Chain A
Amino acid sequence: MTTKSVPLATPVVPAKRPSSNLIATITSWRVLLSIAILCLLPWVLPSKALAVNVLIYGVLAMGYNLLFGYTGLLSFGHAAFFGAGAYITGIAIGQFGVPWYGAVLLGVVGGGVLAFVIGGLSIRTRGIYFSMVTLALAQLVYHVGLQASSWTGGENGLRGFTVAKIDLFGVSINFLDPVNKYYILMVFAALALWFVSRVLNSPFGAAIEAIRENETRARACGYDVERTKLLSFVLSGLICALAGTMSALHLAFVPLDVLHYQTSGMIVMMTLLGGASSFFGPFVGAFAFLLMEDVFSLWTSHWQIIVGSIFILFVLFLPKGIWGTFLAKVIR
C-alpha cells in the first residue's frame, strides 16, 4: 500500500469564480468606473454642496465598510476617527499655520493612531461587547472635544481655518468655487477608492473575509486573527479620518456633532442602505441617504419619518442594500 497521494488532475489555471465576462470586466475596472461615476455627480445632483457631501460620506462609509462589511466587525464608534481627522486638520491649519496638504496628512495619520489605540482596546472583545466598547471609547473622544474648548472650540465648533485657495505646481486654484472644490476633493476620494480596492484584492483582503466568514477556521488555517483584525481596524480608521479632513476642508468648520454617536449611527445606516460588503455600495448608500434627506426636508419638517420608513423597508426586504441587491440581480 502506498501512502503517497496523487491529485486526480493538475489544474491548468487557478479556479475562477463563475461569472460573466461583463461582471469580470466591471470588477477589474471598478476603481476607474467608480471615479467616472463620481465625475458626473455634481452635474446630476440638485446642488454642488450635496455632491461634496456624497463624496465625503461615501469615503467615510467605504472606510467603515472595510471593517463592517468585509471583516464583520460592527463598530459604533467610527465618528471618533471622522471627527479626529476633521479636528486635527482644522487645528493644524488654524492654530499652527500648517499648509493644507500637511494638515490633511496630519489628520489622516492622527485618525490612524487613534484607531490603533481604540482598535487595540476593543478587538479583545467580540459581538455586542465589541460594539459597546467602541461606542464607549468614541464617547470619551466626544467629551474630549467638548471639554478641550481652547483647542476645539467646544460646543461652538472649530472655526477660523478657511482654505480659500489651493496652490498646486505654481497654479492657484480658487477653493471656494464649488466645482473646483468638488474635483479637488474627488482626487482624495479616488485615492481612497484605489487604496481600498488594492487592499481587498490583496491576500490580506481574502484573510479578513475569511475571518468574517469563520473566525475559528481562519485561526486554524494559521492566520493571526487579532493582528489582522487590528490592521483592518486601523486601515478603516485611516480612510474615515481622510473623510474627516475632507469635511473640514469643505465646510471650513468642524461642528462638535461630528464626534456624536449619531454620526456613528448614520455611518452604519448609509453602509447598510447601500450594501455592506460591496465595493461601491457605501457610495450608493451615502448618495441615497443624503439625497433623501435633502429632498424630503424641503417638502416637510417630518422628513425623518419618511427616511426612517424607507430604511425599515430596506432592512426587511432588501437586506443586501441598494447596490448589493442590484449586483445580485445582475450576476444571476
Chain B
Amino acid sequence: MSDKIDSLIRRKISRRAALVGLSAGASFIAMPWVARAADDTIRIGFPTPLTGPYAAEAKDQVKSAELAVKLVNDKGGVAGRKVELLVRDGKLNGGEAATRTLELIEKDKVHAVVGALSSAVQLAVNEVTRARGVIYVSISQSDTINEVKDFSKYTFHEALNPHMTTAAVARHAIKKGNKVAHLVADYAYGHEMLRGFKRALTTIGAESVGELLHPIGAPDYSTLMPRLRAMKPDVLCISNFGRDQANSIKQAADFGMKQQMKIVVPVLLHNQRLAVGPEVFEGVVGGANYYWELEQQLPSAKAFNDAFRAANGGAIPTDYGAYGFTGISSLLLAMQAAGGPDTDKVVAALEGLKYDVAKGAQHYRKCDHQSVQSVLVLESKKKADMKSANDFFKIVENEKPSEDVLRSCKELGFPA
C-alpha cells in the first residue's frame, strides 16, 4: 500500500494537468459567491430547537413562520423580491444556536434573523447578531433581553416578557390577602417568572408563603406536593414550561390540591393541555400571547386562523406558534415600508411600525424594542363546557396593549 502512495507522490504532474486542476479548484471555491451575487431573494434565518423538549412548540413556530412568508410571496414578495425562510436546528443549546446563526449570517448572507425558543438561547443569538449589526426579532419570553446590558439597536423582542405576563395573570387570578405558594423550574425562565409574580403580589397586597424549586425536566413531583400543601396557600403558582407544566399539574391534581387551592401558571400552554386532557387542567388559570378563539373578536385573528387552517389541513395555530407568524410578519411589513432589506432603514421602520397581524394592535417600544401588545388571561374549561375538540380555554381577560404594564425604560437602565 505504501509503495502505491510512494509511486503516486513521485509521479510527475504535467503542466496541463496542473492548470486544469488549479482552475477547477478555483472555480469550485468561487462558486458559492458567484451564485449568491446573481439572486436578489430576501433571506431570513430561523434558528429554533427542532430537537429537544420544546420541539413541539418549535415546530408550530416553523409552520406559522412559513405561512407568513408564503402570504407575502403570494402577493409578490417584498419590494418585488421573493422572501426565503432558512430554518436551522438550534438544539436548545446556546452554543449550537449561536453557531447556526453565524453560518446563516456568514454563509447564507441572511438579511435578518428571527427565532430561538428559550430565554437563554435567544441571548446567545442576540450576542452574535448584535456584534455584526444584523436585525434579530426574538420570539421567546425573556426579561433580560429588555435590559440595557443586552440591548442592541438591531434587536426586537416580539414575545411577551415574564414581567408583563405574570402581572396580568396575577391581577385576574390573585386577590388581596391571598396566600401564595410557588413551584418553580430551577433555571432562568422559572426565576424570571417567580420574580415577576412576587412583584405583582406586592402590588396586589397578597402574601408569598414559600417557594420550592425543581430541576428542569423533572418527572416526579410527589415529594414536593405535601410540602406545598403544608404551606396552606390559597393559590399555587407553577412557573415551569413545556412537558414539566403538564407533569406538575397532573400530579398536583392527583394529590387533590385543586380542592384546597387555585392553580395559576404564567403561560397556559396549548400543547400541554392537549397532551393531558381537560380533567387535569380544569380551572387552571394562566397567560397567553394568542388563543385561536380570538377570531370571534378580531378580524386579523380570523384571517390568520383561516390561512393557517388552509395551509395545515384544518389545524389551528397555537400560542407559541403564533409568535412565528407575528414575528416574521412585523419584520416583513417593516421591510416593505423600507422598500427592501437595508438594515438601518428596516430598523427605523420597525421602530415606527404599528401592526395588527393576528392579535390586535402592536408596536415596538422605542427604548427597549419590546413589543407592546395585548396579554390574554385564560382559564382551562371543563370537559362539559367544551364546544369543539379545540375549545380548551375561556378568555377571562384580554388586557389591552399598554406601555404601563412594562417595566419603565428608566428601570431597565436606559437614559430617561
Contacts and interface: CB of A to CB of B under 8 A. Distances in A.
Interface in B87-141: 88-89, 91, 93-95, 98-99, 102-103, 106-107, 119-120, 123-124, 127-128, 130-132
Contact of B131 (A20, A23, A252): A252
Given A22-B5, A253-B124, A255-B93, A43 B188 contact: no
Contacts of B188: 154-156
Contacts of A4: none
A252 B128 contact: yes
A157 interface: yes
Contacts of B106: 47-49, 178
A82 to B, nearest CB: 11
Contacts of A252: 127-128, 131
Given A155-B120, A156-B120, A251-B98, A20 B6 contact: yes
Interface stretch (A158-166, A207-215, A273-281): A158-166
B95 A258 contact: yes
Interface string A14-25: 000000111100
Contacts of B3: 20
Contacts of B391: none
Interface in B293-337: none
Given A252-B127, A257-B93, A49 B103 contact: yes
A28 interface: no
Contacts of B124: 157, 159, 251, 253, 255
Contacts of B249: none
Contacts of B5: 22, 330
A160 B149 contact: yes
Contact of A49 (B1, B55, B102, B191): B102
A47 B107 contact: yes
Contacts of A23: 2
A331 B1 CA distance: 8
A136 to B, nearest CB: 17
Query: Which among A178, A255, A330 has the highest number of chain B CB atoms within 10 Å?
Result: A255
A225 interface: no
B414 interface: no
A258 B94 CA distance: 9
A332 B94 CA distance: 45
Interface string B54-90: 0100000000000000000000000000000000110
A75 interface: no
Nearest to B150: A159
Interface residues of B, number: 37
Contacts of A332: 1
A251 B128 contact: yes
B256 to A, nearest CB: 33
B144 to A, nearest CB: 6
Query: Which among B2, B88, B95 has the highest number of chain A CB atoms within 10 Å?
Result: B95
A53 interface: yes
Query: Which among B89, B99, B130 has the highest number of chain A CB atoms within 10 Å?
Result: B99
A253 B95 CA distance: 8
A105 interface: no
Interface string B30-55: 00000000000000000000110001
A304 interface: yes
B29 interface: yes
Contacts of A297: 51, 88-89, 91
Given A162-B127, A301-B50, A251 B149 contact: no
Contact of B99 (A49, A256, A331): A49
Query: Which among B6, B88, B124 has the highest number of chain A CB atoms within 10 Å?
Result: B124
B187 interface: yes
Nearest to B89: A297
Nearest to B132: A176
A185 to B, nearest CB: 13
Contacts of B187: 155
A294 to B, nearest CB: 8
Interface in A284-332: 297-298, 301, 303-304, 329-332
A199 interface: no
A297 B97 CA distance: 12
Interface string A67-100: 0000000000000000000000000000000000
A265 interface: no
A200 interface: no
A48 B120 CA distance: 24
Contacts of B2: 20, 22-23, 330-331
Nearest to A294: B103
Contacts of B131: 162, 164, 176, 252
Nearest to B59: A301
A247 B102 CA distance: 13
Given A20-B2, A43-B29, A255 B120 contact: yes
A130 B106 CA distance: 42
Contact of B51 (A160, A176, A178, A301): A301
Given A154-B188, A304-B51, A330-B2, A159 B123 contact: yes
Nearest to A21: B6
5 contacts: A155-B187, A159-B127, A160-B150, A253-B98, A257-B95
Interface of A: 20-23, 43, 46-50, 53, 154-157, 159-160, 162, 164, 176, 178, 247, 251-253, 255-258, 297-298, 301, 303-304, 329-332
Interface of B: 1-3, 5-6, 9, 29, 50-51, 55, 88-89, 91, 93-95, 98-99, 102-103, 106-107, 119-120, 123-124, 127-128, 130-132, 144, 149-150, 187-188, 191
Given A164-B131, A297-B88, 15 more contacts: A20-B6, A22-B2, A23-B2, A49-B102, A156-B188, A160-B149, A162-B131, A252-B127, A253-B95, A255-B94, A255-B120, A257-B93, A301-B55, A301-B89, A303-B89
The 5 A-B pairs with the shortest beta carbon distances in the complex, nearest first, are A255-B94, A49-B102, A155-B188, A47-B107, A20-B2
